[in-house]
């Protein structure tokens, strides 16, 4: 098992440099790839140096944990919810997050639309696609993606800005990233949230506009 970086700020700068190199290697502007630093489960000692180093975009997978960590520190930050969202947490999620990446079912679309109306505050939305069609994983299956996105727009007035996926751990990620890009293109969605610590360079080659990176920046999450 890898040990946490002794110096998270240095690990962070290395990841930023790797993102830039990966973008340049395929003729893309590094500024077109946003690093979402995934701070879930990390101790504050690992997060603080990265914040000091200038990172302003963070990803969390649980509403309550994110609130506990960021509630009084969220000024000037962009916070992404990257984990599954239960219907009973929608109110808090809409109030708290700038981006929700896990829109994956009609019931949630309806609840989000209602809350957005009520609060007059709209997080940017990504539709999560279960590219590997894994039963244990959240996300709309690829065959249902077009209809789901159309329904979000037509029935609920939601305008997702992009798609998100988490490829199966035991398969090469490239084909999953390619599939996500294809579904996005045919639905006129310009943003792709894909790529984590182990595969973000591949994701950038396939067009990722944001990469969600935890352990490569902060070290392994405590078990």
Ligand X SMILES: *Cc1c(COP(=O)(O)O)cnc(C)c1O
Chain residues that interact with ligand X, rule: CB under 6 A: 38, 40, 61, 82-83, 166, 196-198, 212-216
Tokens of 212: 């969600």
Tokens of 98: 């700038």
Tell me the helices (H) and strands (E) count for the chain, helix number first: 9, 8
Q: How far apart are CA 195 and CA 26, in angstroms?
A: 16
Tokens of 215: 């352990």
50, 10 contact by CB (below 8 A): no
Q: What is the DSSP letter of 167?
A: -
Q: What is the largest CA-CA distance in the chain?
A: 50
Which phi and psi (to 5°) does residue 80 adopt?
Answer: -110, 130
126, 163 contact by CB (below 8 A): yes
CB atoms within 10 A of CB 198: 13
Q: How far is the CB of 118 from ligand X (least distance, A)?
A: 27
181, 207 contact by CB (below 8 A): yes
């Amino acid at each position: 098992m890898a040990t946490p970086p002794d110096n998270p700020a240095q690990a962070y700068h290395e990841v930023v440099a790797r993102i830039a190199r990966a973008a340049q290697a395929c003729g893309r502007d590094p500024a077109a790839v946003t690093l979402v630093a995934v701070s879930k489960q990390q101790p504050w000692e690992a997060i603080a140096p990265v914040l000091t180093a200038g990172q302003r975009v963070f990803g969390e997978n649980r509403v309550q944990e994110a609130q506990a960590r960021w509630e009084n520190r969220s000024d000037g930050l962009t916070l992404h919810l990257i984990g599954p969202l239960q219907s009973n947490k929608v109110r808090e999620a809409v109030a708290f997050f700038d981006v929700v990446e896990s829109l994956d079912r009609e019931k949630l679309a309806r609840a989000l639309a209602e809350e957005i109306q009520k609060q007059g505050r709209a997080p940017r939305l990504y539709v999560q696609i279960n590219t590997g069609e894994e039963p244990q994983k959240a996300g709309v299956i690829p065959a249902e993606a077009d209809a789901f996105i159309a329904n979000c727009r037509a029935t609920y007035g939601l305008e997702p800005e992009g798609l998100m996926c988490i490829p199966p751990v035991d398969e090469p990620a490239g084909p999953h990233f390619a599939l996500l890009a294809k579904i996005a293109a045919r639905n006129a969605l310009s943003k792709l949230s894909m790529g984590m610590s182990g595969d973000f360079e591949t994701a950038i080659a396939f067009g990722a506009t944001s990469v969600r990176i935890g352990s490569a920046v902060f070290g392994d999450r405590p078990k």
